[in-house]
């Protein structure tokens, strides 16, 4: 089945993650002081595919419509931009963006939602988006979705430009299977022409091709890229969601970037609403691939929690929640690790608010307790 004319399972998973996060994003910001939201989809695709699958622009518009009716016919002021410069692979007489616009006309749009369509080449559009997002006021926010065909267009420096305003959140889809497969060869064999784009991407991300480490496997590659993104882009929170390709143990990945703690927390919840086992991946034909990768194991999260508590001679419940989020885990995951530690080491709970302390109170903003390893 052609992935450019049909919405395959791994593509459906990324659209699902995007639409679930957008729903949460709208709900959170509609209850805040934010006055305007700018939504950019820079490679929006065909809209609806030959197999009936709905792409990201259709999913976004339906999400906005559902939010409007679920909230008493109200929604934030939205300025939506759908862009794709390519000709359609389904209808050869049209551009993809023309198909998107045609489908979009059949979806109700709230009166305070403005939708624009463009077919500008990504490299020409990115500077314009950077310029616009750098002018965001304190009561404005932006959400950008970048889903390219491949990765040769993606420049880490441009991603940095999109995020440096501190008011933008970014979802980026990358074919990490192909990237990890050729990473070592591209680094060693400078005559390998197929590795030019990857060398450029990795060399810039790691501040020098010589600093790119040896890639052991796909999932460690994803974790490595995630950590390097965090360092290079200077954003506080970076997360990834792995999507299996064609049930063949090869993985694509959605990366999420934000400086907003609440937004990051909500994104982790969106992940867990899809993958209830680990909140880290989507396996074709099953909810989760249980026998392979465990996010907590690869970074030894239990040891990190223990070291954090010992190094600081304890921590408050609020500090532990922040520590967990900084390592891409929800409060319930940190609680699970504390329960494991408690089997080996005594844990003391010290009330700091004058009320009796009987649990960790992770995620409870009304209580303050100190958690200490004895």
| pLDDT computed for residue 288 by the predictor | 35
Tell me, what DSSP letter sits at residue 367? -
pLDDT at 108: 97
What tens digit of pLDDT does each residue of 6-58 get? 555 567 778 888 888 899 889 888 888 999 999 999 999 999 988 888 999 99
**Local confidence band at 285 (pLDDT 50, 70, 90 cut-offs):** very low
Q: How many CB atoms lie within 10 A of CB 207?
A: 13
- Dihedral angle computed from the Cα positions of residues 98, 41, 269 and 365, in that order, rounded to the nearest 10 degrees: -130
Triad 279, 149, 136: Cα angle to 5°: 70
Question: Which has the minimum average pLDDT: 191-195, 246-250, 341-345?
Answer: 246-250
Q: What percent of the chain has pLDDT over 70?
A: 89
pLDDT tens track for 56-74: 999 999 999 999 999 999 9
Flag whether pLDDT at 168 surpasses 90.
Answer: yes
Q: Is the pLDDT of residue 114 over 70?
A: yes
For residues 201 and 180, the answer to whether their CB atoms sit within 8 Å is no
Q: What is the DSSP pairing of strand 369-373 with strand 315-316?
A: antiparallel
pLDDT at residue 195, rounded to an integer: 84
Residue 292 confidence (pLDDT) above 50: no
User: Residue 126: its pLDDT value, please?
Assistant: 97
* Residue spans of alpha helices (H) in 1-55: 9-30
**Does the pLDDT value for residue 344 go beyond 60?**
yes
Domain boundaries, the chain: 9-282, 299-373
With 60 as the cut, is the pLDDT of residue 90 above it?
Answer: yes
Confidence check: pLDDT of 161 > 90? yes
| Cα(55)–Cα(35) distance, integer angstroms | 27
CA distance 183 to 148: 19
For strands 369-373 and 347-351, give the pairing.
Answer: antiparallel
| pLDDT score of 104 more than 70 | yes
Percent of the chain predicted with pLDDT > 90: 55
Q: Which two tokens stand for residue 211?
A: 């600093």
In the predicted model, what is the mean pLDDT of the chain? 86
State pLDDT tens for residues 297-340: 656 788 899 999 999 999 999 999 999 988 888 898 899 899 99
For domain 9-282, give the fold. Answer: Rossmann fold (3.40.50)
pLDDT digits (tens, 9 = 90+) for 115-155: 999 999 999 999 999 999 999 999 999 999 999 988 889 99
362 pLDDT band, cuts 50/70/90, is very high
Task: Look up residue 152 and give its DSSP letter.
Answer: T
pLDDT at position 346 over 80? yes
| pLDDT attached to residue 219 | 78
């Amino acid at each position: 089945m052609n992935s450019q004319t049909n919405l395959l399972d791994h593509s459906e998973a990324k659209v699902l993650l995007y639409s679930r996060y957008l729903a949460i994003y709208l709900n959170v910001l509609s209850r805040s002081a934010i006055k305007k939201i700018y939504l950019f989809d820079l490679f929006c695709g065909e809209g609806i595919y030959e197999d009936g699958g709905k792409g990201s622009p259709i999913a976004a518009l339906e999400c906005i419509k559902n939010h409007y009716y679920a909230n008493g016919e109200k929604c934030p002021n939205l300025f939506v931009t759908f862009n794709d410069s390519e000709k359609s692979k389904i209808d050869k007489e049209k551009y993809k963006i023309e198909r998107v616009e045609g489908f979009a006309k059949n979806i109700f749009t709230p009166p305070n939602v403005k939708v624009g369509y463009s077919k500008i080449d990504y490299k020409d559009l990115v500077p314009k988006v950077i310029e616009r997002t750098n002018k965001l006021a304190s009561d404005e926010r932006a959400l950008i979705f970048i889903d390219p065909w491949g990765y040769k267009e993606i420049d880490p420096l441009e991603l940095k430009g999109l995020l440096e305003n501190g008011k933008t959140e970014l979802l980026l889809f990358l074919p990490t299977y192909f990237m990890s497969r050729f990473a070592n060869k591209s680094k060693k064999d400078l005559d390998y022409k197929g590795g030019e784009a990857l060398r450029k991407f990795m060399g810039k991300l790691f501040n020098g091709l010589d600093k790119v480490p040896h890639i052991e496997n796909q999932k460690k590659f994803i974790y490595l890229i995630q950590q390097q993104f965090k360092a290079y882009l200077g954003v506080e929170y970076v997360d990834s969601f792995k999507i299996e390709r064609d049930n063949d143990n090869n993985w694509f990945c959605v990366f999420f970037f934000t400086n907003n703690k609440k937004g990051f927390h909500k994104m982790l919840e969106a992940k867990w609403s899809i993958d209830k086992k680990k909140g880290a991946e989507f396996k074709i034909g099953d909810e989760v691939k249980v026998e392979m990768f465990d996010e907590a194991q690869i970074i030894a999260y239990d040891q990190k929690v223990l070291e954090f508590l010992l190094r600081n001679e304890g921590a408050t419940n609020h500090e532990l929640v922040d520590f967990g989020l900084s390592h891409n885990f929800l409060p319930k995951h940190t609680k699970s690790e504390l329960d494991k530690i408690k089997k080996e080491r005594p844990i003391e709970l010290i009330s700091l608010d004058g009320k009796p302390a009987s649990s960790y109170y992770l995620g409870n903003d009304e209580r303050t307790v100190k958690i200490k390893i004895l």
